[in-house]
Amino acid sequence: MKSIWYKTNEDAKKKMFAFADEYKDFISKGKTEREAVDVSVALVEKAGFKNLASVEKLSPGDKVYAVNMNKDIVAFVIGKKHLTEGLNIVGAHIDSPRLDLKQNPLYEDHELALLDTHYYGGVKKYQWVATPMALHGVVCKTDGSKVNIVIGEEDSDPVVGISDLLIHLSSDQMKKTGATVVEGEDLNVLVGSIPDTSEEKDAVKKAVLDLLKDKYGIEERDFISAEIEVVPAGKARDYGLDRSLIMGYGHDDRVCAFTSLKAVMDVKDPERTTCAILVDKEEVGSVGATGMHSAFFANTIMELLDKSDRYCEMRLRRTLANSKMLSSDVAAGFDPNYPAVNELKNTAFMGYGLVLTKFTGRGGKGGASDANPEFIAEVRKALDDNEVQFQTAEIGKVDQGGGGTIAYICANYNMQVLDAGIAVQNMHAPWEVVSKADVYEAYLGYKAFLKDIK
């Protein structure tokens, strides 16, 4: 097998690059789960999808979406077949590793004002220092109002960041292992150094609070009910001299979220009802009201049944069990700098197309979602019939590590689920890399799946 670039003509390349531009815009604007939902709602509404809550009766061809707590979105196109025959689902997550502000974050130390954080998801902590960062999030006030915050993205904005120890004084630090070379409690964000000279104590902290009050109308106590995420500052960009790749924050898993959503938007008049679900909290175990374990998904399917003709528990369970799903999450892309972690016959390569991963898990497939070969054969056929290039892979050599996705949670509904995503380099680093060829091929693959799976 060769990379997609070998068979790409100028026309196809133009399409790929235009699609990549749209995607770059999507991740540059959607850097948190909330922002990703907002950008997704704008996309689907522009394509004629209606909020499910505003629709009374559903008929084939109808396009609807539902949002859960501003952090999940699910979009459907109602098919010609009855819902109980099952849906074709593509599911991705829209949370990404980052640093979250603590509830009581702001403090002063030797006339510098800092924000204390707790990292979110699996990160190599040493990667998140000495690099420009932005603050994204919401502050919810007791009067019911909400303040949106984005600082560090405009050219005229300041950025913030976390210091690293100078090499000149690092002889002790350099002897530590990678896991402890930068410690979690040392991920403190520098936000100010000018004092409010009328204050005796914590004058710099006071000045930062004054600034927050002036610009955003928030008080120190409002941090208690805030969610502010510290993320890499700046837009996604073309990567490589030939512009064949994209460097951006949060490809895992917004690259599969975008391609999944676009696929549902672009498959017209499907036989089976199509669905894209984009969820929060995958990076911390899919827990809580906005993770895949939440009742939100099943509740929304109940609403669909109710609005199509009638709902009952048995019909809900039939609908879920007859559904088929691609868990669209990223795969580890081969990195020539670190070839030793892979077994090359079962490795995802950049530019080789959609990655099918039969099983996830670690150490003897522990915690794996393991797709049935009957179902993989169906997916293969849909991809082959639509001339979509795919590759197969697992996450690294046996006993080297591993990972998981939302696949096993959906499989608990008794539906067929296969992991299918896009190869990423630098996964979970502040700046990750994907191939434009893979982004476009995944979109084509998801479309083929939604359209053709019976």
Q: Which residues bind to Mn ion, rule: CB under 5 A?
A: 252-253, 329
Nearer to Mn ion, 84 or 426 (CB): 426
Nearer to Mn ion, 133 or 257 (CB): 257
To Mn ion, the closest distance from the beta carbon of 404 in angstroms equals 9
To Mn ion, the closest distance from the beta carbon of 224 in angstroms equals 29
To Mn ion, the closest distance from the beta carbon of 297 in angstroms equals 17
Vertex 392: Cα angle to 323 and 334 (nearest 5): 130
Nearer to Mn ion, 329 or 452 (CB): 329
Nearer to Mn ion, 252 or 378 (CB): 252
Q: Is 248 helix (H, G, I), strand (E, B) or coil?
A: strand
If one counts every other C-beta atom within 10 angstroms of the C-beta of residue 376, the result is 16
Nearer to Mn ion, 319 or 342 (CB): 342
Among 310, 108, 296, 128, residue whose Cα is nearest residue 202: 108
Tell me the C-alpha distance between 78 and 63, whole Å.
6
Query: How are beta strands 423-424 and 331-332 bridged, if at all?
Result: parallel
If one counts every other C-beta atom within 10 angstroms of the C-beta of residue 142, the result is 10
Element at 135 (helix H, strand E): strand 133-140
To Mn ion, the closest distance from the beta carbon of 279 in angstroms equals 11
To Mn ion, the closest distance from the beta carbon of 424 in angstroms equals 9
Tell me the C-alpha distance between 15 and 71, whole Å.
30
Among 346, 347, 352, 327, residue whose Cα is nearest residue 419: 327
To Mn ion, the closest distance from the beta carbon of 10 in angstroms equals 33
Tell me the C-alpha distance between 361 and 359, whole Å.
7
Q: Is the peptide bond before 253 cis (omega within 30 degrees of 0)?
A: yes
Nearer to Mn ion, 267 or 348 (CB): 348
Nearer to Mn ion, 47 or 284 (CB): 284
Residue recorded with tokens 């133009």:
14
Is the Cβ–Cβ distance between 251 and 262 less than 8 Å?
no
To Mn ion, the closest distance from the beta carbon of 406 in angstroms equals 9
Nearer to Mn ion, 63 or 428 (CB): 428
Residue 32 is given by DSSP the state S
Residue 186 is given by DSSP the state G
Vertex 65: Cα angle to 289 and 142 (nearest 5): 45
To Mn ion, the closest distance from the beta carbon of 88 in angstroms equals 21
